[in-house]
Structure 1
Amino acid sequence: MAMKLVLAVVQDDDSGELIERLVKNKYSATKLASTGGFLKEGNTTLMVGVDAEKVKDVIDIIKEVCRSRKQTFTTPIPPTGSASVFIPYPIDVMVGGATIFVLDVDHFEKV
């Protein structure tokens, strides 16, 4: 039977509920702490090993829990040309959702 590894990078705020839903549906996951490059905020990377025919179910669960949403941040750096006077201003950014990778697994053992 073909195995797949689903890697899902999700926002920390969504990780608790996502892990609960995966476990409730009998999927085990390994949780790794990670940091996003753009906003420098905490993320969670989940590794879920599943049979190939279960990949769609796992992705559907991820999509149900990890929805994109708008969040307001204050600019962390001064705008170009105004280094001497910096007045932070709010910007709206879409956060949440998930980045999902599905990889083939050549070999799997659980000992």
Structure 2
Amino acid sequence: MKLIVAIIQDKDSQQLQTQLVKDGFRATQLPSTGGFLKAGNCTFLIGVDDEKVDDALEIIKKTCHTRSQYVTPTFLMPEAASSMGEPIEVQVGGATCFIVPVDKFVRF
């Protein structure tokens, strides 16, 4: 058994939750905050059998999308406040997944 820890944008969380349930996966959803843009994220904890890991990852891949977002350089580098004032485009979203082995799983 494996535990997938998937960190995604809030914007994709409802669609991911719906698709996971539809395909028979159980998941726990936790609110979280990203370190880069301090934006709202969602962390999913998904317990899956070894042979179902790729299926779960495919669902995450299909439902969690990258997006372009404009931020001011002062947000990224406060020391550059005087020299750079124009917003810059950064890619956000998608999913970051960690797959961790589970030694034991118990449900009460």
TM-score > 0.5 by shorter chain: yes
Bigger radius of gyration among the two? 1
Q: Name the count of aligned residue pairs.
A: 106
**Which has the larger share of helix?**
2
Partner Cα distance (1:64, 1:81) in 2: 38
Q: Is 1:30 matched up with 2:28? A: yes
Q: Is 1:52 matched up with 2:70? A: no
TM-score using structure 1 length = 0.87
Partner Cα distance (1:60, 1:87) in 2: 40
Partner Cα distance (2:71, 2:81) in 1: 21
Give the aligned partner of residue 91 of structure 1: 88
Say which SS state the counterpart of residue 107 (structure 1) adopts: coil
TM-score using structure 2 length = 0.89
Moved beyond 4 Å, runs of 4+: none
Partner Cα distance (1:58, 1:32) in 2: 18
| Contact 1:74–1:91 (8 Å) recurs in 2 | yes
**Aligned-residue offset at 1:88:** 4.3
Q: Give unpaired runs (5+ residues) of structure 1.
A: none
Q: Give unpaired runs (5+ residues) of structure 2.
A: none
